[in-house]
Amino acid sequence: MNWQDPAQIGVGTRAWAAAKQAWLVLAATVTLGATALHCGPAAPPGFPSGPSGRLEISYPHNETLFPPEIVAPTFIWQDETEGVARWLVILRFDPTGEVLRFQVAEPHWRPSEEDWAEIKRRSEAHDVEVAVVGIDQGAKTASSASVRIRTSTDPVGDSIFYREVPLPFIEAVQDPSRIRWRFGGIDSETAPPIVLENLPVCGNCHSFSGNGGVLGLDVDYGNDKGGYAILPVSQQMVMNDEKIISWSDYKKEDGKATFGLLSQVSPSGRYVISTVKDRAVFVATPEIAFSQLFFPIKGILVVYDTETGTYRPLPGADDPEYVQSNPTWSPDGSSIVFARSKVYRGSSIEDAETILLDETDVPEFVEGKEPFKFDLYQVPFNDGRGGKAEPVKGASHNGMSNFFAKFSPDGKWIVFTKAENYMLLMPDSELYIIPAEGGEARRLRANTPLMNSWHSWSSNSRWLVFSSKANTPYTQLFLTHIDADGRSTPPVLLERFTGSDRAANIPEFVPLPADAIAKIKEQFLDAYSFLRAGMANERTGNYLGAVRDYQRGLVLHPDDVELLNSLGFALFQQGKSQEAVVALEKAVTIDPKHWKAHNNMALASIDIGELELAEAHYRESLAIEPQPAIYSDLGFVLQRQGLTEEASEMFRKSLELDPQSASGHYNVAGSLARDGEYEAAEAHFRAALKENPDAQAYTGLGYVLGQQGRVDEAITSLREAIEADPEHPAAYDQLGTILAEQGKFEEAASDYRHLLRIQPSPAAHRKLAQVLMRLGRIEEAKKEMAKALDPTAE
């Protein structure tokens, strides 16, 4: 592929399958089919004069420029030429024309450490031509292709700090402890060491001060999604209470929650700027490649001063009519470039209380029907006094969404990301470069066919690291060289930086040696941190993950009642009620007044058939906290024990506490109906339907209307039950019975068949057999009766 030809690369969104054909997946653990061998002095094929056969070199690309300190890459090619048995990799050095040859049996080759060092040394001043020649069984040339590569005289010089995330992203949401951070250089044969892992709470965007001396990291803290850690960088770093601030402290009195999105530490390390009073679209999907849709639709920029401990909005970027987000500092800290758009105000979200909006709140974005584009603006910092925000020429009002601006440390360039819409993780996102003062935007040659974003400049302003999904759904890191004129070279894959089960993102060049950070340890996690992590898993239905979080918390805090109670409930939800009872018994022993633990103990006791134990714990719970729902649950337990009068009393108490409760009215109605008080039961069923028109209440109403001889009304109510829930078996059962009594046997048969489809039983087969007999369909009736007597009968 010619990486200078945008027409071949494609600017719009492409499906993953198409991109996969254009690129070959390069894993960090490529193994050679045979050891690369230097050819002997016999007369092997010479350097090919041009391409032949059906051989294509996938990596590296023509005119790739490698950093001088990078470890050896893996050369990859595909050869669909018939009859090829092996390959020669031939290197020809300018200006001498000297040739080296290596023989391989598989379509990939990685130079040894010694050979790569020699290749780099001899390619600093001149290109080296690399040819791959396919050899057939007769030792003749069958195919060939070649590329030119070179080694730069500009070192990267920096280490890279980046995050690894499991996919799909919902897995990271459910288990944040699987997210990890690495730090290291490009000169290592192994992946950079993991410096931070096993956080049970979410850690997100990070950034460094200009000299790498300060690290800022989004981190959930306590009950606060606005937590942010500001750490002095050292080999052994500790993240504790003293080093964590909260963006929620800005205008806390207004009661509006905040996350603090896309924060950035200033070059001096004194300030941090973030998006606060924010709201964002966040939709997690099961898809691997693009498993989330995320972009802010509301927010202002606020600056935190580490010296004074104060927060203040940045004038020029604090207009509530706009979303102002994704800020980046100029190298001297004098100005800030940020992404801006009009605040989105959809009718479906005006009353939403959450900061993060999902697919139910904003289906228009999930379905791609509603565009949302950002423009880059620049505002003077002016010691926090701000100024007038001006659009950045070349990165604003161009019909596209412009975001993730990053200044080169020498102050000469801005590289930013452009996509048709939205912000993070866009398949069509590409990198563009403009002069720092704004100007014509030029597309970087390094762009791959699928998603290019999350970029960072090396401290010498000569290298860019960025993320892409060109090779695999699991995002990888790439480098490109930027020369003095802002021209980039084809991408260099950091193939040892990522494994096969994690996506690498948010890479940051840090002007420090690879051993400058060895470990970041948290010391702020308490019982509540694990409790929140488990509750987050419960909200997504991941009770297995919740149990894991609660158990991890109990290792540190074995007598924490909230953790024990939550563990018991999560185990109950998994169907492990016997284990749940053990945890809940311990909880109520430690704190006999914990009404929720008593309530959950009752639930688990019911599940294992201990009704008297359940009754006792419900009564304990009610003595502490008389909740209407618990009165109802106790009523059911008493009912199952045959104590109908006591059960009715509990239902009435529940309704007294919550007169508008649909379930309360329903339960009282059921008790009255069982006692034959149909008229009173009807009133309560109708009250229940007024609050919640569901199938159960319609069915109950249909029953009591039928018992009062009001058959037509009963049929209408039962049909409304079926309309509310076409899978509600009791409605079909009762409707079939009433219709059969009216002599409407065909209709009754139809309802009984529906009942059998939903909930097969001998009784239903018997009822269907009886109406079929009345219809004279004797053979069908016999079959149904046979099934009633033996459900396994055909």
Q: What is the CA radius of gyration of the chain?
A: 34
Span 353-372, mean pLDDT?
Answer: 80
Residue that has been written with the tokens 């470990």 in this structure: 519
Determine, yes or no, domain membership for 684: no
- In-domain check, residue 644: no
DSSP 541: T
Cα 228 off chain centre by: 20
Say which CATH number the domain at 280 has. Answer: 2.120.10.30
Residue 15 pLDDT level (bands cut at 50, 70, 90): very low
CATH code for position 742: 1.25.40.10
My answer on whether 137 and 169 are in the same domain is: no
* Residue, of 108 and 46, whose pLDDT is higher: 108
Q: What is the pLDDT of residue 43?
A: 53
pLDDT at 37 over 50: no
pLDDT of 283 over the 90 cut: no
Mean pLDDT of 463-492: 96
- For 330-345, the pLDDT digits (tens) are 999 999 999 999 998 8
Residues 45 and 170 grouped into a single domain: no
Averaged over 196-215, what is the pLDDT?
A: 88
> Are β-strands 271-284 and 356-357 bridged in parallel, bridged antiparallel, or unpaired?
parallel
Mean pLDDT of 590-600: 95
> Taken in order 373, 376, 379, 381, is the CA torsion positive or negative?
positive
Mean pLDDT of 637-647: 90
- Could you count the other beta carbons within 10 Å of the beta carbon of residue 268? 15
Residues 265 and 131 in one domain: no
Last residue of a domain, one of 502, 522, 542: 522
Output 259 or 20, whichever has higher pLDDT.
259
> In this structure, are strands 375-380 and 356-357 parallel, antiparallel, or unpaired?
unpaired
Q: 341 and 489 share a domain?
A: yes
Query: What is the C-alpha separation between 265 and 263, in angstroms, rounded?
Result: 7
- Which comes out higher in pLDDT, residue 651 or 159? 159
Name residue, tokens 């956080």: 199
Same domain, 140 and 182: no
Q: Are residues 345 and 284 in the same domain?
A: yes
Q: Check pLDDT > 90 for residue 476.
A: yes
Better-scored residue on pLDDT, 292 or 588? 588
Contact criterion met (CB below 8 Å) for 547 and 574: yes
Evaluate whether residue 78 is within a structural domain: yes
Rounded-to-integer distance, Cα 354 and Cα 692, Å: 25
Boundary-marking domain end, from 109, 135, 151: 151
pLDDT at residue 220 above 80? Answer: no
Residue 741 CB neighbour total at 10 angstroms: 11
Q: Place 285 in a pLDDT band, splitting at 50, 70 and 90.
A: confident
pTM: 0.71
- Reference 646, options 656, 636, 655; nearest CA is 636
Please say whether the beta carbons of 299 and 374 come within 8 A.
no
Whether residues 271 and 346 share a domain: the answer is: yes
Q: Are residues 71 and 203 in the same domain?
A: no
In a domain, 709, yes or no: no
Phi, psi (rounded to 5 degrees) for 329: -90, 145
Q: Is residue 6 part of a domain?
A: no
What's the structural domain count of the chain?
Answer: 3
Looking at the fold, whether 145 and 225 belong to one and the same domain comes out as: no
Does any domain span residue 134?
A: yes
Shared-domain flag, residues 246 and 146: no
Predicted pLDDT of residue 549: 87
* CA dist., res. 362 & res. 347, Å (int): 10
A 10 A CB-CB count for 651 gives 28
Nearest to 451 by CA among 147, 23, 1: 23
Strand partners, 537: none
The gap from C-alpha 172 to its chain's centroid, in whole angstroms, comes to 6
| Same domain for 210 and 70 | no
Cα–Cα distance, 793 to 642 (Å, whole number)? 35
pLDDT at 17 over 50: no
pLDDT level of residue 12 (50, 70, 90 thresholds) = very low
pLDDT recorded at residue 25: 34
65 or 663, higher pLDDT: 65
pLDDT at 351 over 70: no
Q: What is the pLDDT of residue 173?
A: 72
> Is 664 contained in some domain?
no
Rounded Cα gap, residues 780 and 793, in angstroms: 13
**Calpha distance 175→155 (Å, rounded):** 38
Domain ranges, residue 134: 31-151
Task: Report the pLDDT value the prediction gives residue 41, as an integer from 0 to 100.
Answer: 43
Mean pLDDT of 214-234: 84
Establish if 622 belongs to a structural domain: no
pLDDT greater than 60 at residue 11: no
Residue 13: pLDDT band (50, 70, 90) is: very low
More confident residue, 154 or 632: 154
pLDDT in tens, 671-719: 899 889 999 999 999 999 999 999 999 999 999 999 999 999 999 999 9
Half-sphere exposure of 211 (CA within 13 A, CB side): 7
681-689: Cβ within 8 A, 24+ apart: 682/708, 687/662, 688/662, 688/663, 689/662
Q: Please, which residues have CB within 8 angstroms of residue 457's CB and are 6 or more apart in sequence?
A: 406, 407, 408, 409, 415, 463, 464, 509
Q: How many CA atoms lie within 13 A of 585 on its CB side?
A: 10
Q: Which of 151, 181, 196 is at the close of a domain?
A: 151
Percent of the chain with pLDDT over 90: 70
Q: Identify whether residues 364 and 404 lie together within a single domain.
A: yes
Q: What is the mean pLDDT of the chain?
A: 89
Distance of alpha carbon 318 from alpha carbon 311, whole angstroms: 13
In this prediction, residues 477-497 reach a mean pLDDT of 97
Residue 317's nearest CA partner among 375, 397, 379 is: 379
CATH of the domain at 109: 2.60.40.10
What amino acid occupies position 782?
Answer: K
Which helix (H) or strand (E) is 749 found in, with range? Answer: helix 745-758
Closest Cα partner for 733 from 753, 711, 746, 752?
752
Which residue from 278, 347, 352, 356 is spatially nearest to 318, judged by alpha carbons? 278
d(Cα 393, Cα 680) in Å, to the nearest integer?
A: 74
Minimum mean pLDDT among 92-96, 401-405, 594-598, 768-772: which range?
Answer: 92-96
Closest residue by Cα to residue 503 from 478, 470, 479, 469: 469
Q: Is the pLDDT of residue 356 over 50?
A: yes
